[in-house]
Amino acid sequence: MGASMAGHLQRAGYVLNVYNRTPKKASELLDQGAVWCDTPQAVASASDVIFSIVGFPNDVHEVILGDQGVLKGCRPGSMIVDMTTSRPALAAQIHAQATARGVVSIDAPVSGGDVGARNGSLSIMIGGDEVAVNSLQPIWDLLGNTWVYQGSAGSGQHTKMVNQILIASGMVGVCEALLYGHAAGLDLATVLKSVSSGAAGSWSLSNLAPRIIKNDFDPGFYVEHFIKDMGIAIEESDRMGLALPGLSLARQLYNAVSSQGHARSGTQALQLAVASLSGLDWEERCKDNSKKMLP
């Protein structure tokens, strides 16, 4: 996602200084004129606004607050924009340390997956200083169709937790519905023409269900990252004294699909775990669509 997002900025004429822990992932940007930096600190030293999007909260801590992290290279007046889905408390910690150095910190997690990143149609949920957030409107407009200021530091991350809770239970419904449709002998692509445009319609149904039907479990968003997100949401829910049984069930099912070797598959691989609960092999179904999955 980060490469696609950076590409939108590059094509709009912004000068990019880039770093990636896997250098080859930046090769296309470098071929188009981006400047390679050896550390996040070096990126910050050469930049006015520094964007980060990584995998896990410990990665965020290392990239921004580590010994060679972004904050070490920032000048007063610089802006740090972390677009990783991470812990709200970490966003607040980064904000506090950045403010002490005269640096602006914004948490801006996104929703829309690889498709949204490629198309510049992400939904961006933003926390931090409102004036600073509004000053970046030209960049938000390049990256997403929707960007909304949610409040103080950490508010963007809390909003993303709301998003992930919605998706988690929704994906269980998508997978169970497809399993039922196939067992009933329906053509699933034809079924989607009806249900995707009705009251049951959702982003997951429109974008991930077709991949499931094609047995395409390539990642737009990793299972292991979604498990991380659900864990954060459950931690925050426990802290607030909330019981979220649907979210807990979804995490249990995603842990199952991860244990089946699909931690680095896309979140639509949940279908494999849901089908296996009925003793069924969803991947085998795709080899013979005429085969009934139920006895």
Tokens of 66: 């580590």
Beta partners for 79? 49, 104
Report the alpha-carbon distance of residue 262 to residue 253 in Å, rounded: 12
Residue in this structure with the two tokens 């426990």, named with its chain if needed: 238
Tokens of 204: 């997951």
Per DSSP, the three-state class of 35 is: strand
- Among residues 243, 177, 234, the alpha carbon closest in space to that of 204 is found at 177
Buried b (16+ CB within 10 A) or exposed e, 25-55: ebeebeeeebebbebbbbbbbebebbbbbbe
Q: What is the DSSP letter of 219?
A: -
φ/ψ of residue 35, rounded to 5: -105, 125
* Side chain identity, residue 271: Q
Report the alpha-carbon distance of residue 74 to residue 41 in Å, rounded: 8
Where are the strands (E) in the chain, listed by range? 17-18, 35-36, 49-52, 79-82, 104-107, 110-111, 122-127, 144-151
Beta partners for 122? 144
φ/ψ of residue 22, rounded to 5: -115, 95
Q: Which active-site residues does the annotation give?
A: 160
Q: Residue 139: which residues within 8 A CB-CB, separation 6 or more?
A: 9, 14, 49
Residue in this structure with the two tokens 């269900």, named with its chain if needed: 209
